[in-house]
């Protein structure tokens, strides 16, 4: 509905899509509209529509936001095959050197590095599952032709064939010893209706060891526990049955428990240690069961109102991270200790039907209903490229001037320095007795200034292996901001209820102070180093001249409340964001607004110009980061988060925007140019 509505409005206002909008006087408005359409489609995971709208955006207007959306719409490394039918299953061999893919009537086997197909194995009807033998170069496959087949992977010869084992065989699994093979299927009769069937086969000759009936619907998935003592089966009855393998008796039946939606099980997978089992369900939820306590957690994250099926699930070897394949065209990577996904990966244009994680955890292969296979490498799967976990709640996220480090500080007074390349913390210490609030690098990146709720401001020498305190001063106020002068010889900080102070660096001598009418919530040095802009909680922006020790009013916002302020690179414009939700850019030459924009949902707590001065990023307590055109104030895109935005910053090259939402993370939003 959103995609059609946005598309219809764009076409209605700007004409046919095959018109050339670059030649039109409305080209920037058209650019806005295509971005809005692409962004709406991305949030609904309509990948092909995102790409279509972005392709129509006028090239002359493309900036960070266009490249950000473009990267979000295609995050895989490559498409490595296009098959003729939907992909129904993907599995790696235990050593990671072979990959088997079920598609149509065939099972295709690739060798190492996935460059060329090694074998093409054929059933009479659609194939559903394939599994590599644990100790030998053999593949077991099952299909809708009702057969189980074992294949020699050296020459592709059929070793064992078992016929008529169900209406359409859904699942297959090897016992860890390699002695048995389990298959699951379903049968039907007029008298009884439908029922699920489980068969255990001896692997050498394919003779039947044991048969069990289970439920009244097909059984979609089957696997043994890692020690072989249990057999798990998952069915369209919503349940997972747990059987002992010594007597083939049922131990437990695990049911999702939640009411409402249809919860047929599509696929499940035990983790490497066997302590957890993740199950993908038809209601869009992945449920992870603790195999000891028999309790479960539910993981759900889709576009608004959607309950699209989770089609497959696979574990990473770390035992607490797993990936899911969704009908909503995405792959999500989850960690068992949190309910929000670490990654939501786009690239497929059709329902993602199957996936497999390489045994070393450094790659993932996925397939969709169109038959397309995609490869996701270690860079695509590294969640630290998009989010860093912070020690506690973070209130600061700032690059140093070289772009080689990021500082964060927050709850309980910690200060941490991150390496942007790896996302790892390289330095960490407790800088304040209570929460750290703001931290800023000196222009030479050798010093760090910080403020905290302990009413202290501190300057640290971070060039040492262990950070050393250069000087500190009491501020008699919660430390809402701090800033080095452009040459790094001075540091300014709010002080007391209605004043600020300037200290010499590195001596810490007070060289200037001024009293105002209200508390200072934001300050920024003019690039000339001679003036300091001050935002006060009564909604007034003032400019203090260091030489004359005078202060003048520059701008008055639409109401009282905390103000955040920032100069652009050349100091011609000053951006002001207010707690009342107004964002303004003031022309410093004439003291008049370039624009004033009212945000739809409340106060803005963070703000910053892009290095080229053409974009303004703002974030606030409505859990959104918005990108505005700095010349007109027009909205370009918004980026949703699950918590208020307390700080943000652009990398020196303008390619990356980092964001500190109040959720114990720093988020990394990349708009690096990958081609137009």
Residue 574 CA: distances (Å) to CA of 362, 522, 555, 564, 600: 46, 12, 10, 10, 22
Domain-located, residue 8: yes
pLDDT digits (tens, 9 = 90+) for 601-638: 777 889 999 999 999 999 988 999 999 999 999 999 99
Can you give the pLDDT at residue 114?
84
Q: Above pLDDT 90, what percent of the chain?
A: 78
Q: Which two tokens stand for residue 142?
A: 């099952």
Find out whether 470 and 508 touch, Cβ atoms under 8 Å: yes
188 in Cβ contact with 168 (< 8 Å)? no
Q: Which of 154-163, 257-266, 619-628, 649-658 has the lowest mean pLDDT?
A: 257-266
Structure tokens given for 483: 């800033």
Give the burial string for 457-468 (b: 16+ CB within 10 Å, else e).
Answer: bbbbebeeeebe
How many domains, in total, are found in the chain?
A: 1
Model pLDDT for residues 375-401, shown as the tens digit of each residue: 999 999 999 999 999 999 999 999 999
Q: Which residues contact 355 (CB under 8 A, 6 or more apart)?
A: 90, 312, 313, 314, 323, 324, 325, 331, 364, 365, 366, 367
Classify residue 313: in a domain, yes or no: no
Distance CA 603, CA 521 (A): 13
Cα four-point dihedral sign 408, 414, 415, 420: negative
Least confident of 98-102, 323-327, 600-604, 623-627: 600-604
The arrangement of strands across the sheet holding 540-545 comes to: 520-525, 531-536, 540-545, 550-556
Q: Which of 466, 624, 650 is nearest to 568 (CA)?
A: 650
CB atoms within 10 A of CB 638: 20
Structure confidence at residue 15 (pLDDT): 45
Vertex 102: Cα angle to 231 and 201 (nearest 5): 35
In the numeric block, which tokens belong to residue 275?
């302590």
pLDDT band at 556 (very low <50, low <70, confident <90, very high): confident
Return the pLDDT at 376: 97
pLDDT given for residue 558 in this prediction: 62
Is residue 56 assigned to a domain?
yes
- Residue 18 in any domain: the answer is yes
Predicted confidence (pLDDT) at residue 672 exceeds the cutoff of 50: yes
- The verdict on residue 45 lying in a domain is yes
Alpha carbon separation from 484 to 216, 419, 452, 473, 526 (Å, rounded): 71, 22, 16, 15, 11
* CA dist., res. 578 & res. 563, Å (int): 5
Q: What is the CA radius of gyration of the chain?
A: 30
Identify the pLDDT of residue 674.
63
DSSP tag of 113: G
Helices (H), 300-387: 378-381
Distance, in Å, from the CA atom of 582 to the CA atom of 585, rounded to the nearest integer, reads: 10
Cα–Cα distance measured from residue 437 to residue 113, given in angstroms and rounded to the nearest whole number: 48
Residue 559, pLDDT score: 63
- Round the average pLDDT of the chain to a whole number and report it: 91
Token digits of residue 260: 């409402």
Dihedral sign, Cα of residue 203, residue 279, residue 334, residue 436: negative
- Per-residue pLDDT, averaged over 202-220, amounts to 94
Start-to-end C-alpha separation, the chain: 28
Q: pLDDT digits over 129-147, tens only? A: 999 999 899 999 999 999 9
For residue 376, which phi and psi values (nearest 5 degrees)?
Answer: -120, 115
Residues 6+ away with beta carbon under 8 Å from 345: 75, 76, 330, 331, 332, 333, 376, 380
Average pLDDT over residues 262-281: 94
pLDDT for 16: 41
- How deeply is 109 buried, as exposed, middle or buried, from its count of CB atoms within 10 A (0-12, 13-18, 19+)? buried
Let me know if residue 50 belongs to a domain.
Answer: yes
Q: How many CB atoms lie within 10 A of CB 668?
A: 21
Please give the C-alpha separations between residue 655 and each of 34, 236, 661, in angstroms, as whole numbers.
21, 47, 20
Nearest Cα residue to 197 out of 237, 169, 176, 161: 169
Average pLDDT estimate for 505-530: 90
Q: Is residue 660 part of a domain?
A: no
Q: Does 47 fall in a domain?
A: yes
Question: What is residue 119's three-state secondary structure?
Answer: strand
Q: Residue 304: which pLDDT band, with cuts at 50, 70 and 90?
A: low
Are the beta carbons of 113 and 132 closer than 8 angstroms? no
The predicted pLDDT at position 673 comes to: 78
**Residue 4 confidence (pLDDT):** 43
pLDDT at 676 over 80: no
Tell me whether the omega of the peptide bond preceding residue 506 falls within 30 degrees of 0, making it cis: yes
Query: Nearest Cα to 180, choosing from 260, 243, 98?
Result: 243
Measure the CA–CA gap between 598 and 596, rounded to whole angstroms.
Answer: 7
- The model's confidence at residue 22, banded by pLDDT at 50, 70 and 90, is very low
Does residue 26 register a pLDDT over 80? yes
**Mean pLDDT across the stretch 55-76?**
95
Asked if 619 contacts 608 with a C-beta cutoff of 8 angstroms, the reply is no
Average pLDDT over residues 245-250: 94
Q: Which of 91, 94, 109, 130 is nearest to 317 (CA)?
A: 94
Tens-digit pLDDT profile for residues 482-516: 999 999 999 999 998 888 999 999 999 999 988 88
Whole-model pTM: value is 0.90
- Tokens read off for 390: 């912070």
Indicate the SS3 state at residue 542.
strand
* Structural domain span for residue 24: 2-73
Rounded to whole angstroms, what are the CA distances from 83 to 120, 126, 494? 12, 14, 64
Q: Using CA atoms, how far apart are residues 522 and 480, in angstroms rounded to an integer?
A: 7
Q: What length does the chain have?
A: 676
pLDDT recorded at residue 25: 55
């Amino acid at each position: 509905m959103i995609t059609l509505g946005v598309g219809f409005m764009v076409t209605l206002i700007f004409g046919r899509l095959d018109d050339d909008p670059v030649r039109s006087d409305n080209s920037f408005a058209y650019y806005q509209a295509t971005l809005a359409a692409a962004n709406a489609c991305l949030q609904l995971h309509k990948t092909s529509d995102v790409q279509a709208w972005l392709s129509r955006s006028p090239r002359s207007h493309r900036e960070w936001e266009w490249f950000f959306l473009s990267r979000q719409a295609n995050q895989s490394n490559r498409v490595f095959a296009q098959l003729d039918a939907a992909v129904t299953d993907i599995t790696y061999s235990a050593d990671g050197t072979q990959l088997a893919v079920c598609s149509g009537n065939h099972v295709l086997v690739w060798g190492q590095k996935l460059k060329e197909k090694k074998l093409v194995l054929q059933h009479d009807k659609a194939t559903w599952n394939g599994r590599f033998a644990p100790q030998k170069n053999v593949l077991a496959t099952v299909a809708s032709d009702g057969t189980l087949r074992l294949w020699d992977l050296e020459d592709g010869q059929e070793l064992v064939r078992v016929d008529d084992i169900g209406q359409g065989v859904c699942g297959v699994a090897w016992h860890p010893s390699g002695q048995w093979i389990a298959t699951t299927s379903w049968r039907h009769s007029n008298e009884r209706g439908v029922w699920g069937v489980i068969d255990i086969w001896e692997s050498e000759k394919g003779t039947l060891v044991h048969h069990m009936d289970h439920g009244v619907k097909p059984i979609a998935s089957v696997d043994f526990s890692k020690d072989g003592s249990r057999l798990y089966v998952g069915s369209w009855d919503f349940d997972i049955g747990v059987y002992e393998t010594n007597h083939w008796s049922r131990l437990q039946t695990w049911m999702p428990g939640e009411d409402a939606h249809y919860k047929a099980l599509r696929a499940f997978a035990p983790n490497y240690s066997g302590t957890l089992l993740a199950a993908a369900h038809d209601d869009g939820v992945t449920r992870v069961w603790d195999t000891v306590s028999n309790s479960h957690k539910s993981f759900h994250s889709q576009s608004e109102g959607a309950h699209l099926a989770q089609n497959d699930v696979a574990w990473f070897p770390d035992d607490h991270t797993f990936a899911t394949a969704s009908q909503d065209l995405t792959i999500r990577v989850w960690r068992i200790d949190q309910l929000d996904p670490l990654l939501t990966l786009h690239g497929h244009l059709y329902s993602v039907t199957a996936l497999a994680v390489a045994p070393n955890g450094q790659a993932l292969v996925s397939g969709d209903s169109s038959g397309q296979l995609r490869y996701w490498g270690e860079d695509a799967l590294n969640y630290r490229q998009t989010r860093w976990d912070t020690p506690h709640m973070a209130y600061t996220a700032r690059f140093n001037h070289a772009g080689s480090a990021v500082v964060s500080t927050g709850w309980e007074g910690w200060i941490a320095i991150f390496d942007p390349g790896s996302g790892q913390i390289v330095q960490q210490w407790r800088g304040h007795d209570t929460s750290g609030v703001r931290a800023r690098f000196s222009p030479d990146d050798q010093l760090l200034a910080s403020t905290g709720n302990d009413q202290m401001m501190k300057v640290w020498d971070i060039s040492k292996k262990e950070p050393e305190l250069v000087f500190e001063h009491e501020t008699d106020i919660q430390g809402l901001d701090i800033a080095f002068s452009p040459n790094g010889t001075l540091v300014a900080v709010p002080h007391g209820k209605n004043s600020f102070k300037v200290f010499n660096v590195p001596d810490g001598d007070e060289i200037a102070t001024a009293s105002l009418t209200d508390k200072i919530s934001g300050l920024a040095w003019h690039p000339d180093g001679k003036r300091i802009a001050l935002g006060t909680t009564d909604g007034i922006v003032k400019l203090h001249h260091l030489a004359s020790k005078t202060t003048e009013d520059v701008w008055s916002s639409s109401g009282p409340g905390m103000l955040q302020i920032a100069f652009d690179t050349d100091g011609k414009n000053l951006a002001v964001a207010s707690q009342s939700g107004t964002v303004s850019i003031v022309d410093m030459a004439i003291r008049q607004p370039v624009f004033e924009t009212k945000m739809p949902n409340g106060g803005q707590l963070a703000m910053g110009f892009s290095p080229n001065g053409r974009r303004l990023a703002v974030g606030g307590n409505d859990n959104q980061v918005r990108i505005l055109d700095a010349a007109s104030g027009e909205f370009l895109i918004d980026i949703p988060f699950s918590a208020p935005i307390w700080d943000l910053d652009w990398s020196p090259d303008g390619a990356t925007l980092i964001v500190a939402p109040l959720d114990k993370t720093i988020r990394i939003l990349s708009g690096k140019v990958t081609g137009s």
